[in-house]
Amino acid sequence: MRTPFRKTAGKVALWILTFVLMVIMCVPGLWVVLTAFRPNAEVLAKPPVWIPEDPGLTNFAKIFGFAADQVAIPVPSYFANSLIIALTSTAIALLIGMSGGYAFARYRFRFKNGIFLGLMLSRTVPGIALSLPVFIIWSKLGLIDTKPGLIIVYVALNVPFTIWLIDGFFRQIPKEMSEAAQVDGCTRWQAFWKIEFPLAKSGIASAGIFAFLTSWNEYALASNLTRSTDSKTLPVGLMDFTAQFTIDWAGMSAMAVIIIIPALILTFLVQKHLIAGLTFGGVKG
């Protein structure tokens, strides 16, 4: 039987181990954030300077064209492209995901289990493996270097996971609640919007933020399907900071921080629904 001292020592050791692992995981991200606020000369200094001696917003001013020595990279265009593509693909994936998730949770139809299994298996294929076939098909359809081409790809990537996640939430909402609403005079559509949708909104918010982050951060497919300023996204635009012999680490880090900020803001805005959704729909009945 374990003594109270050994239990306490085990908990302390677990907390210390967790803290060390979290520090190891956070140091690279923290270094990127600090690099975004320091000059390039300080980035390349040896020995390395851990804390910026003269932090400022010069790197951000350069990449947005507000400084005297501007960076010839259209960051505002890349940001607009990322925002349009991520929001549009997320909205479409959520609409399809809600329809599909509700259908799988509430209806019986032929080959239901097989179709659901096929959707889940499609998520096991890594995106980079799809680069070549998608590129060949998109080139024949004229969708290379276009926003719609990238939106279609991201919708296809997000729909299976979105359906699976939303299906789990609708399964945990008793059918009797919708049936009671229909007995009281609601149509099936009204029962969905007034009864089931409000109860499942936490799960839908969870699916939405995962779909948005997938579209916002994806690089492998975007790097193959985009060519010009009209469709390049922020992750692809990071490579513009690399030249033949030099890399603008400060500018690249500043752009990386710009990529991180919208994701943090979105997560903060929906964190209540996200936590509730992940805990409510974690186990499917």
Percent of the chain with pLDDT over 90: 22
Model confidence at 223: pLDDT above 80: yes
pLDDT at 137: 93
Q: Across all residues in the chain, what is the average pLDDT?
A: 83
Using alpha carbons, select from 84, 93, 79 the residue that is nearest to residue 209.
Answer: 93
Higher pLDDT, 240 or 139: 139
pLDDT level of residue 165 (50, 70, 90 thresholds): confident
Using alpha carbons, select from 159, 148, 158, 157 the residue that is nearest to residue 81.
Answer: 148
Model confidence at 244: pLDDT above 80: no
Burial of residue 219, with CB atoms counted within 10 A of its CB: 0-12 exposed, 13-18 middle, 19 or more buried = middle
pLDDT in tens, 22-73: 888 888 888 888 888 888 778 877 787 778 877 888 888 888 877 666 667 8
- For 174: left if phi > 0, alpha if psi spans -120 to 50, otherwise beta; the answer is beta
- With contact defined as beta carbons under 8 Å apart, do 183 and 258 qualify? no
pLDDT at 49: 77
pLDDT in tens, 166-205: 888 888 888 888 788 888 888 878 888 888 888 888 788 8
User: Where does 75-280 sit in CATH, by number?
Assistant: 1.10.3720.10
Average the pLDDT over 89-112 and give the result.
89
pLDDT in tens, 116-155: 888 888 878 877 788 889 999 999 999 999 999 999 999 9
What are the angstrom distances between the C-alpha of 37 and each of 2, 8, 192?
50, 42, 49
CA distance 263 to 192: 30
CA distance 34 to 249: 11
- With contact defined as beta carbons under 8 Å apart, do 179 and 110 qualify? no
- With contact defined as beta carbons under 8 Å apart, do 230 and 82 qualify? no
What are the angstrom distances between the C-alpha of 85 and each of 91, 125, 137, 182, 196?
10, 22, 20, 38, 29
CA 241 to chain centre: 23
Average the pLDDT over 225-231 and give the result.
89
- With contact defined as beta carbons under 8 Å apart, do 196 and 178 qualify? yes
